[in-house]
């Protein structure tokens, strides 16, 4: 199965206490890198969030953002410290009496004094927090996974078409090998004739040279291995597990076989086929970088 590393997913949980939202974004990355931003009240769940995401998304740079708006959200409850405010009032009244200065205490000035107002940010216990977050997280994971799968299926169709092109190029290369060998035989015979040599006398040497040349230039074995790699590539596309890393390694082997065919075959038409073949392998390689 091909899964794109690029995707977005969103999940939401609504309760009487508030609304919790989970957003997951993923982009290409060589390895798996997961970062999570949670409200302070749910920060103790970061490890469980990472583990849950890792179970489904095996590769990519993944950002998980959790927001919570409710009675127990990160902002908490704004509270008035009555004892502190009362003490400020008493001190200001005493100060006015000591100094003999006139004027009342402005409410706005009193509110900005330290510790008059405070935020109560009490964290949820782990069980309650996970019960609230788990449904939204599961929904976001399923959402991004579905998007990655759809994009992977679209790219897979393109890859299968390119594999067919490579297979056709291999067929043409194999068909050209006998013509290449026959061309060599004719060239050697022509050169011997031009040199005035007795062909019958040099027949044994001629056949020996042809056998040696065929051994050096025969790319049939490489073509067979390359066809085998193509079939393995197709099997990995259809396999249930993510195949990005395996496909990347397989492409290295395919490129190695193509290079060997090009170096062995001393023929212009085969060289042209190899160039086209390597172009398709490179296009596939660029696509494979987008898969888990």
Token pair 């590393």: residue: 5
d(CA 164, CA 170): 10
State what percent of residues in the chain have pLDDT above 70: 84
Q: Report the pLDDT value the prediction gives residue 82, as an integer from 0 to 100.
A: 81
Higher pLDDT residue, 178 or 213?
178
Domain 150-288 belongs to what topology?
1.20.120
State what percent of residues in the chain have pLDDT above 90: 39
C-alpha torsion 183→186→190→193, nearest 10: 160
d(CA 242, CA 246): 9
Could you tell me the pLDDT band of residue 2, with boundaries at 50, 70 and 90? confident
255: pLDDT strictly greater than 60 = yes
Tell me the mean pLDDT in the region 159-188: 86
Enumerate the CATH 3.30.230.10 domain ranges in the chain, comma separated. Answer: 7-74+124-148
- pLDDT-wise least confident of 38-47, 168-177, 190-199: 190-199
Could you tell me the pLDDT band of residue 243, with boundaries at 50, 70 and 90? confident
Tell me the mean pLDDT in the region 250-270: 88
Residue 134 tokens read as 């788990």
Helix axes 203-217, 126-194, angle to 10 degrees: 160
- pLDDT-wise least confident of 5-14, 24-33, 99-108, 267-276: 99-108
210: pLDDT strictly greater than 90 = no
Please, what's the b/e burial string for 80-113 (b: 16 or more CB within 10 A of its CB; e: otherwise)? Answer: eeeeebeebeeebeeeeeeeeeeeeeeeeeeeee
Enumerate the CATH 1.20.120 domain ranges in the chain, comma separated. Answer: 150-288
Higher pLDDT residue, 207 or 177?
177
**What pTM, to 2 d.p., does this model score?**
0.66
77: pLDDT strictly greater than 80 = no
Edge-to-edge order in the sheet of strand 60-70: 7-14, 18-27, 60-70, 32-37
Indicate the pairing of strand 60-70 with strand 18-27. Answer: antiparallel
- pLDDT-wise least confident of 51-55, 114-118, 284-288: 114-118
d(CA 264, CA 213): 10
Could you tell me the pLDDT band of residue 75, with boundaries at 50, 70 and 90? very low
C-alpha torsion 196→202→205→211, nearest 10: 90
Domain 7-74+124-148 of CATH type 3.30.450.30? no
289: pLDDT strictly greater than 80 = yes
Tell me the mean pLDDT in the region 168-189: 81
Q: Report the pLDDT value the prediction gives residue 74, as an integer from 0 to 100.
A: 46
268: pLDDT strictly greater than 70 = yes
Tell me the mean pLDDT in the region 105-117: 74
Q: Report the pLDDT value the prediction gives residue 190, as an integer from 0 to 100.
A: 75
Q: Report the pLDDT value the prediction gives residue 139, as an integer from 0 to 100.
A: 96
């Amino acid at each position: 199965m091909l899964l794109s590393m690029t995707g977005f997913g969103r999940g939401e949980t609504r309760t009487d206490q508030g609304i919790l939202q989970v957003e997951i974004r993923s982009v290409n990355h060589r390895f798996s890198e997961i970062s999570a931003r949670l409200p302070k009240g749910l920060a103790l769940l970061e490890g469980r969030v990472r583990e849950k995401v890792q179970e489904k998304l095996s590769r990519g740079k993944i950002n998980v953002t959790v927001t919570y708006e409710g009675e127990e959200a990160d902002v908490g409850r704004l509270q008035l410290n009555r004892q502190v405010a009362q003490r400020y009032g008493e001190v200001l009244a005493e100060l006015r009496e000591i100094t003999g200065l006139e004027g009342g205490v402005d409410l706005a000035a009193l509110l900005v004094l330290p510790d008059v107002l405070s935020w109560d940010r009490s964290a949820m216990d782990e069980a309650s927090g996970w019960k609230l977050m788990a449904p939204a997280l599961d929904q976001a994971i399923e959402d991004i996974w579905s998007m990655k799968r759809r994009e992977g299926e679209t790219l897979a169709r393109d890859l299968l078409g390119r594999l067919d092109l490579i297979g056709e190029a291999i067929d043409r290369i194999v068909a050209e090998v006998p013509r290449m060998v026959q061309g060599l035989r004719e060239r050697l015979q022509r050169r011997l004739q031009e040199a005035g040599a007795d062909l019958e006398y040099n027949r044994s040497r001629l056949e020996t040279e042809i056998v040696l040349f065929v051994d050096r230039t025969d790319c049939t074995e490489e073509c067979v291995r390359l066809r085998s790699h193509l079939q393995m590539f197709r099997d990995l596309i259809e396999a249930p597990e993510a195949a990005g890393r395996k496909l990347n390694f397989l492409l290295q082997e395919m490129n190695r076989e193509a290079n060997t065919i090009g170096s062995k075959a001393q023929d212009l038409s085969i060289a042209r086929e190899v160039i086209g073949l390597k172009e398709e392998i490179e296009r596939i390689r660029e696509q494979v970088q987008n898969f888990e």
